[in-house]
């Protein structure tokens, strides 16, 4: 079968780009696959980070075609021409932000007219964005009216889809867990990052308000009363006011209890930070889903996360991690203490639990959905 992936992909950085790379790698073993990638993803004035690119990415795809400029309609026409020439049986769109609705809807509307037998499946990483705008729903409807079926990756996204589309055809599949090729021992990785404490608590990912980093920082004043010889390591570039978090760290930390690596973590360092950790914390205030949880499971690390839709269904309580009441720093600190005090082989539990999140199952279910259209 011929498949086109309409999505951001390397060299762009971020979880969706990373997932698209793995999706391409898994599909190309049995199908003819290409990626219609972005030539320009965001205009500079709309991008809050330092760069959109992972400059040292080693990920290479033979059929990665950087065509789409999100704000240049002439590039959208070129993308339509490329897809028409490829004549795919299936187009998989990754949707995560209504900003891309105009270019996506133009492309697939034209494709559907010129290739009426081509099916469109939309993989919904998010539907309703974290930072909401009055125009979100109209833009989302504009693209979704051309879509044949959907993949949602949490109950929250499932609810959002049903609130926008009547009787959608869809499958609910969780983020697949990637097989890790490069692993480090805990001791080796801690030497590499200069960690000297016995317990390492990691927050991983780009920092935005909804991710609740302030809750983790505030939890430290409770944590130090119950736990010794630990460090909270924050791994991620801030996409908002850094001074707010620096002030919180100063107010809630003593003796280097909190360390912030305020930069994007390139792919070659990701295994080191996860291998160095004892637990990964997601104190999110809201979420549609999270790619950090399956990434943690890839390294057999337990997760402590807010008890919210989009997150809690991927955690087996007291087996692969703990849940705590959102926006509650004291509850978070208690969960961290409980995890360290509980005699449990989290690694074995995670190995068993993650079997249901394999890439082969994810791919099979997409193909089965296509066959039903």
The per-residue pLDDT for range 195-238, each reduced to its tens digit, is 989 999 999 999 999 999 999 999 999 999 999 999 999 999 99
Cβ neighbours of 31 (radius 10 Å): 15
Residue 282: cis peptide before it, omega within 30 degrees of 0: no
Distance CA 44, CA 47 (A): 5
| Percent above pLDDT 90 for the chain | 82
Q: What is the pLDDT of residue 47?
A: 64
With a cut of 70, say whether residue 57 has pLDDT above it: no
**Structural domain boundaries of the chain?**
2-176+358-371, 186-355
pLDDT, tens only, 270-306: 999 999 999 999 999 999 899 999 999 999 999 999 9
**What HEC string does 155-221 produce?**
HHHHHHHHHHCCCCCEEECCCCCCCCCCCCCHHHHHHHHCCCCCEEEEEECCECHHHCHHHHHHHHH
Residues 6 or more apart whose Cβ sits within 8 Å of residue 164:
127, 137, 140, 141, 144
d(CA 104, CA 267): 28
Q: How confident is the model at residue 256 (pLDDT cuts 50, 70, 90)?
A: confident
pLDDT band at 254 (very low <50, low <70, confident <90, very high): confident
Q: What is the pLDDT of residues 341-369, one digit of tens each?
A: 998 899 999 999 999 999 999 999 999 99
Q: Provide φ and ψ at 69, rounded to 5°.
A: -105, 120
Q: Which residue, chain included where needed, has tokens 């809750």?
A: 215
In the three-class reduction of DSSP (H, G, I as helix; E, B as strand; rest coil), residue 23 is classed as helix
Class for domain 186-355, per CATH? alpha beta
Question: Residue 273: its pLDDT value, please?
Answer: 96
Domains 2-176+358-371 and 186-355 are alike in CATH topology: yes
Tell me the three state secondary structure of residue 234: strand
Q: How many CB atoms lie within 10 A of CB 370?
A: 17
Give the three-state DSSP class for 373.
Answer: coil
CA distances from 22 to 9, 37, 157 (A): 10, 14, 22
Assign domain 2-176+358-371 one CATH number from 1.10.3720.10, 3.40.50.11930, 3.50.50.60, 1.10.10.10: 3.40.50.11930
* Number of helical (H) and strand (E) elements in the chain, helices listed first: 13, 13
Contact between 234 and 258 under an 8 Å Cβ cutoff? The reply is: yes
Cα–Cα distance measured from residue 64 to residue 61, given in angstroms and rounded to the nearest whole number: 5
């Amino acid at each position: 079968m011929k498949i086109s992936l309409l999505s951001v992909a390397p060299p762009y950085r971020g979880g969706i780009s990373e997932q698209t790379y793995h999706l391409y790698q898994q599909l190309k073993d049995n199908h003819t696959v290409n990626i219609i990638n972005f030539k320009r993803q965001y205009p500079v004035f709309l991008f809050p980070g330092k760069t959109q690119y992972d400059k040292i990415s080693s990920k290479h795809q033979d059929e990665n075609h950087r065509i789409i400029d999100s704000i240049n309609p002439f590039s959208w026409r070129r993308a339509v021409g490329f897809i028409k020439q490829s004549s795919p049986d299936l187009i998989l769109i990754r949707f995560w932000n209504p900003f891309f609705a105009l270019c996506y809807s133009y492309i697939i509307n034209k494709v559907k007219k010129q290739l009426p037998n081509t099916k469109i499946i939309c993989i919904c990483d998010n539907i309703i964005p974290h930072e909401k705008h009055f125009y979100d729903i109209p833009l989302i409807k504009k693209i979704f009216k051309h879509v044949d079926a959907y993949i949602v990756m949490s109950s929250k996204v499932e609810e959002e889809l049903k609130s926008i589309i009547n009787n959608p055809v869809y499958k609910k599949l969780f983020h697949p867990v990637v097989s890790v090729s490069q692993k480090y021992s805990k001791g080796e990785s801690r030497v590499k990052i200069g960690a000297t404490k016995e317990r390492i608590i990691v927050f991983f990912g780009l920092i935005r308000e909804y991710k609740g980093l302030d809750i983790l920082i505030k939890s430290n004043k409770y944590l130090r009363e119950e736990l010794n010889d630990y460090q909270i390591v924050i791994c991620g570039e801030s996409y908002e006011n850094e001074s707010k978090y620096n002030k919180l760290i100063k107010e809630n930390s003593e003796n280097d209890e909190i360390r912030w690596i305020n930069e994007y973590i390139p792919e070659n360092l990701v295994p080191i930070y996860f291998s160095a950790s004892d637990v990964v914390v997601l104190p999110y205030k809201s979420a549609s889903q999270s790619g950090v949880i399956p990434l943690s499971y890839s390294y057999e690390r337990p997760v402590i996360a807010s008890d919210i839709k989009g997150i809690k269904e991927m955690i087996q309580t007291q087996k692969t991690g703990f849940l705590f009441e959102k926006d509650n720093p004291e509850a978070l600190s208690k969960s961290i203490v409980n995890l360290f005090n509980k005699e449990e082989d989290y690694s074995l539990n995670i190995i068993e639990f993650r079997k249901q999140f394999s890439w082969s199952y994810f791919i099979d279910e997409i193909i089965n959905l296509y066959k039903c259209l």
